[in-house]
Amino acid sequence: MGAAGSSALARLGLPAPPAPRWLGVAALGLAAVALGAVAWRRARPGRRRRLQQVGTVSELWIYPVKSCKGVSVDAAECTALGLRSGHLRDRFWLVIKEDGHMVTGRQEPRLVLVSITYEDDCLILRAPGMDQLVLPTKLHSSNKLHDCRVFGLDIQGRDCGDEAAQWFTSFLKTDAFRLVQFEKSMKARTSHEIFPSLDKKYQVAYPDCSPVMILSEASLADLNTRMEKKVKIDNFRPNIVVTGCSAFEEDTWDELLIGNVEMKKILACPRCIMTTVDPDTGVIDRKEPLETLKSYRLCDPSEKSIYKSSPLFGIYYSVEKIGSLKVGDPVYQMVA
């Protein structure tokens, strides 16, 4: 998918899963069902929903710097702008060119080799052949504000300083780059700007399209049965990975309750060449797994005006009620 227009229907993805840690906690989810968590009254007056468990959270991922490796967490707050763990926020940092245009793995695939850890209110960035970069999560208010462009839309970012700029410039070796950080006081990109034709109301900082993206383990396993070279969850960069459901069952989920967080489906995630960047080598293939996905995951013809020729893999959600969630939480669909 291309520039600003098709940007509306963007693309998304994500980094490497550790060994499943949900097994022990999953039993708690089953116990909750056994205790009869089948009916639940929402905060909105007069609305009653039945809870139907459709899976269990097996992984949670936060991608602090857009297109860089994700950080696996056991628990997270879910804010209106996406997942948070302390000062670690999902896609609150962005690499830009000096003219403010965003830079992602589509243009600079080696970004996926940058790993991130979080220590003492600092992000620690590491990359092959580079000394580590220590990045404070709280910037001085005197740092320059940049006017940035993300998929053709205007958004601001505060400059993270010359050391960070030189670090990314030295690592990527193709241009001069800056790193910026989004702050909550800044104006976020709105759903109306991203998807003018959809009646949705939410905001995002630097993610492609939505605050949260969900993908199931079964969908990835199904794709890998069709692939000569297997792909990882890292190729697709979801925030929440779900186990215990069938392949592509997530296509059917509308309103979800996870922990005490309520989410509502926006639309399916249209995939682009970002999925063809090898998360281990930083080499872009431009073909797989995209071509295989196109062979069986194209949209219904009635939705072609939305998705064009992009294959669908994973689901975008907005956050209707903020709260917290953790690995092992049951995933409930709220049905009438």
Predicted confidence (pLDDT) per residue in 156-165, tens digit: 999 999 999 9
Q: What is the mean pLDDT of the chain?
A: 90
- Catalogue all structural domains in the chain, each as residue range(s) with its CATH number: 51-335 (2.40.33.20)
In which band, very low, low, confident or very high, does the pLDDT at 48 lie, cut at 50, 70 and 90? confident
pLDDT, average across residues 114-132: 97
Opening angle at CA 163, ends 157 and 167, nearest 5: 95
pLDDT tops 50 at residue 47: yes
Omega before residue 289 within 30° of 0, cis = yes
- pTM (2 d.p.): 0.88
Concatenate the DSSP letters of all residues of 16-53 into one string. PP-S--HHHHHHHHHHHHHTTTTEEE-SSTT-EEEEEE
Percentage of the residues of the chain whose pLDDT score is greater than 70: 86
**Cα first-last separation, the chain:** 36
